[in-house]
Structure 1
């Protein structure tokens, strides 16, 4: 199996981190309009190419529970989103329980990995994990987390008031198991080979062509491997042209639901083995949050695992 990876070692890694941190400090590439990535008013990949977006996602993926949600009556069940995603993958990936060694080391790919929170969590169980994201800024931040294990970010407190925090990969996670690359989920490279697990968390409804991604997963995942789709199905024209939506519209007077479309596309090649609600929480500022509840489905590729 061949994997395209982005990474560096030794002095090269130090130079990479220095360059990335300098760009973050200068705000290079920052959008003039400093809006939250949680806003549903606009869309497009450029929304994730700002320092503000990186800060919000470092907080979303790595913040300590009390830093993210300091209120005792808040929705605690929505915390630890990336950890819960990885645990869902681990529970259903049979390759992790192959003690014969015939399948080789299990490989997971986190497509739409953002700054890498779930990618690192997957490395608790998977010997090899590749995180892929379309945003160069997100991949840069993920590389910093891999090389250094930590990265400073700013969180909005109120208006222009901000507070600095430190995102950190848990010390028990082996960061050497993880690689990152910039890539397009709608046109994943053939050089990825085949893998045991693909995680796509809060990704589908942010893709310009989600059907292309689903079709690609049929050849990307090994027989017996799993596709874990987690999405709130927030279809918006700013992200996906309406004729590419998988659901959320009427056709011939009948409601089209995303879960039904996914099932129609995948069921010839996959079996649905699990589904559940997966709440998440994104902080916009100290007293405003976005609570969402994604639909999580686990599809197992048919055929005998070899």
Structure 2
């Protein structure tokens, strides 16, 4: 288990991520928002659409945060497991199965607005479960899955190679892997010696190429609202892979 403190346990970040995953356009955007901001909404939904059409038996959502992508993946998976390192995020994700969740949106200074996060109608579509876990040190008996989804996780790990080494065992032969990463390598999360030496895409090809075939590469923008006047707009690189036969 990583010994680094988890920065994702504050109530402020919980509110930001509940808004990011479940907030409506009206909850998130100012009236003056340009079209590019609107197109960056629903990131946790859009990344799940990079899998092939059709249904599967099981899906793993790594770095699931507050769970919207996990619930979306349940539309086409009989069993979906969401794992995140943040206990606060996992508690919130699991609680939403039973009832909507009240949270606060920071507007500015001491000003906050009370909002409600709730699942879209019909979700979860099939069985969903959540657990805390370290993506670099997943439990040995986790098993393998038809699909593995990991969005905006890789460049927040201290040793991302440890996850990449585990992925062939997590994805069944013929199964699919979707990795989304903004490639924002920062020393506060990942020591520079553990960053890719070249591009992140070339590094993924090198590390995964022996066990996976790269199917597609695309960009998906996302938007995180910090305050009424401050937003993070970022483009995440989404790669889709197919597990080769053992």
Same structural fold, with TM-score higher than 0.5 when normalized by the shorter chain: yes
Hey, what does 2:29 align to over in structure 1? 69
CA contact (8 A) 1:93 1:225 kept: no
Deviations 1:90-131 (A, max 9, x none): xx266x2xxxxxxxx521111000110111111111111100
Q: C-alpha distance in 2, partners of 1:83/1:159?
A: 31
Shift of 1:73: 2.2
Q: In 2, Cα distance between the equivalents of 1:68 and 1:245?
A: 33
Residues 196, 226 of structure 1: 8 Å contact kept: yes
Query: How do 1:40-189 and structure 2 match up within 5 A?
Result: 45-71=5-31, 72-74=33-35, 75-89=37-51, 92=52, 96=55, 105-148=56-99, 150-174=100-124, 177-189=127-139
In 2: Cα distance, 1:45 partner to 1:81 partner: 26
Per the normalisation by structure 2, the TM-score is 0.93
8 Å contact 2:22–2:68 — kept in the other structure?
yes
Counterparts of 1:130 and 1:73, CA distance in 2: 36
Aligned mates of 1:200, 1:93 — CA distance in 2: 18
Deviations 1:167-200 (A, max 9, x none): 1111211265210000010011221111011111
CA distance in 1 between counterparts of 2:29 and 2:217 reads 27
Q: Secondary structure at the match of 2:120?
A: coil
Query: SS state of the match for residue 154, structure 1?
Result: strand
The equivalences for 1:235-254 within 5 A come to 235-247=185-197
**Gapped runs of 5+ residues in structure 1?**
1-43, 97-104, 248-255
Q: Distance in 1 between matches of 2:233 and 2:106?
A: 17
**Counterpart of 1:189 in 2: which secondary structure?**
coil
Q: Distance in 2 between matches of 1:280 and 1:301?
A: 27
After superposition, give the CA deviation of every residue in 1:68-108 in whole Å (9 maximum; x if it has no partner): 1143524211011111112222xx266x2xxxxxxxx5211
RMSD (CA atoms):
1.6
Q: Which has the higher strand share?
A: 2
User: Structure 1 runs of 4+ off > 2 angstroms?
Assistant: 70-74
Task: Please say if residues 75 and 125 of structure 2, whose CA atoms lie closer than 8 Å, have aligned partners that are also in contact.
Answer: no
Q: CA deviation at 1:208?
A: 1.0
Deviation digits for residues 2-44 of structure 1, max 9, x if unmatched?
xxxxxxxxxxxxxxxxxxxxxxxxxxxxxxxxxxxxxxxxxx6
Rounded to whole Å, the distance in 2 between the matches of 1:58 and 1:156 is 12
Larger Rg: 1
TM-superposition CA deviations, 1:177-227 (whole Å, max 9, x none): 210000010011221111011111000000011001011001110011111
Instruction: Work out the number of aligned pairs and report it.
Output: 241
CA contact (8 A) 1:93 1:196 kept: no
Instruction: Give the Cα separation in 2 of the matches to 1:93 and 1:137.
Output: 32
